[in-house]
Structure 1
C-alpha cells in the first residue's frame, strides 16, 4: 500500500524553505520517502499556473493529463512526498485576465486537489493512503508578504495600506484550509503554522519530516535549515512600487527591477 503526502500550498508560508531543505537532503531521506519537487514535474507546474489564472474546463483537463503522464513514470514506492504551492493555483493579489483580482484560493485549489487525489488513486490504486498538507501563516503577516511579492513580480501600483484594504475580504489561510478539508473529506488534510515551524532547527521542513514518519529524535539529528527566499527589505519594496508607478513598458520595468535585485546592498 502506497502512502502519498501532497504538500499543496499555500504561497508565502515557508514553502521555499521546506522544499530547499528536502532538495538538499533528498538522498538521506530516500529510505523514508521518494521526494518530488516542482522541478521534477515542469509540465504539471505549467498546467497548474495556467489553470490558476483561468480555471476553465479545458485547462482543468490539461492539468489532469499532465499529472497523469507524470505519475505514470513514477516507480512504485512505499511512501511518496510531492511538494509545490502551485497545486493551490495562483497567489492571491495577482489578477486574472477576465475576472480581476484574485482574492482567494478555493476557485482553483479545490478542483486541483480533487484531480490530484483522483489521479493518485488511479495510479497507485484505491487503497493508496493520501494526505494533503497545507502550511499556514497568520493573516496580516501573510498579506504583507504577498504584497512584497506582487509589487516585485507584477506592475501593482497600490501601496501596502491600499493593498490590505483591497484584500480585506480575503479569507484567512486557516479558513481556506478548512474549505479544502470539507471538499476533500474523508481524505485527510493536515495543517502546520509557519510561526510554529520557523523557530525549529529544520524550519518549515519539520512539518514534512513529521508527516513522512520521522520521530522528533530523528529530526533533531538532521542538519539545520538555511534561510531561503527571504522577503525584500521594506525600502526595496518601496523602490519597486515607485518603478511600477513610473514605468509603463514591461520590458524596461523588468530590467530596472532586476537591476535593483542584483544591487541590494543599499536596501539591506
Structure 2
C-alpha cells in the first residue's frame, strides 16, 4: 500500500527544521522516501494561503487543482512512502492578513483527501501530521516572527491578548479529524521531540514507520529559526514603530539580526 504523509503545520513548531533536515539528507533518503517541501509546491502553498484569507470557493478549487498537479508526480504503485511538508498548507499564520486562527485548515485537508481519492487508482494510505506547541511559547515565537517579517507595532502582551485563541492548536487538529477521519490524523507536541536525535523530524518518521536503519543514515542539523533574544525583538519593535519607510526598516532589521547571528556587522 502506498503511504503518503502530509505535514501541514503548524508554523513555529519545528517545521523549518524538519524541511531543512529532509533537504540536507535528500541524497541518502532518495531511495527510500519521496519528499516534497515548499520549493517543490510553491503554487500549492500560495493557493492554500489565498483560500485561508478569502474563504472563496474559487480559491479552494484552485487549491485542489494545484494538489492534483502534485499528485500526478506520485506513482501509487511505487514502493517509496511520500512526505509532503509545508506549514503553509494550513494557510497563513494567524496575525497575517487579518487571520486570527487556522480555521481554514480542516477544509484544506478535506480538499486534499477528496482530490487524492479521485486521483489514485491503486490502494493508498493518507496521513495528516501536525506538530503542536505549548501555547505561551508558540505565541511568543509567532510574535517574534511577525516583528521580524512585518511592521507589527504591538507589544508581546498586546499580541497575546488579541491572538490567545489562535494558540489552541489542538482544537484545529480536532477539526481536521472531524473533516478527514480521526484515524488519518497524528499530532505530536514539539516539546516531546526536543531531546531526540532527529528532533521534530523524528515525529514524522514515527508516523510513517520509517525503519531505524534509514533513520540512522540521516544527519541531524541544529534547530532552525531559533528564538530571538529580547533585546533584538526590542530593536525590531522600535524600528517598526518608527517613521522610516518600509525598505529602510527592513534593512535595519536585517542588519541587526546579522549582527546577532555573527557577532559583527
Counterpart for residue 188 of structure 1: 184
Counterpart for residue 61 of structure 1: 61
Cα displacement string for residues 121-171 of structure 1 (whole angstroms, at most 9, x for unaligned residues): 222237321110000101111001010011111111111111111123335
CA distance in 1, matches of 2:38, 2:217: 27
Contact 2:94/2:102 (<8 A) preserved: yes
Contact 1:33/1:212 (<8 A) preserved: no
Counterpart for residue 71 of structure 2: 71
Contact 2:29/2:214 (<8 A) preserved: no
RMSD of aligned C-alpha atoms? 2.1
Counterpart for residue 228 of structure 2: 232
Counterpart for residue 103 of structure 1: 100
SS in 1 for 2:11: coil
Q: Say which of 132, 137, 147 aligns to 1:136.
A: 132
Contact 2:143/2:159 (<8 A) preserved: yes
CA distance in 2, matches of 1:119, 1:187: 18
* Residue range with higher mean Cα deviation, 169-178 or 217-226: 217-226
Counterpart for residue 96 of structure 2: 94
CA distance in 1, matches of 2:45, 2:164: 29
Residue 233 of structure 1 deviates from its aligned partner by 1.6
Q: TM-score, normalised by structure 1?
A: 0.89
Counterpart for residue 83 of structure 2: 81
CA distance in 1, matches of 2:136, 2:122: 40
Structure 1 stretches of 5 or more lacking a match?
97-101
Q: TM-score, normalised by structure 2?
A: 0.90
Contact 1:130/1:187 (<8 A) preserved: no
Counterpart for residue 99 of structure 1: none
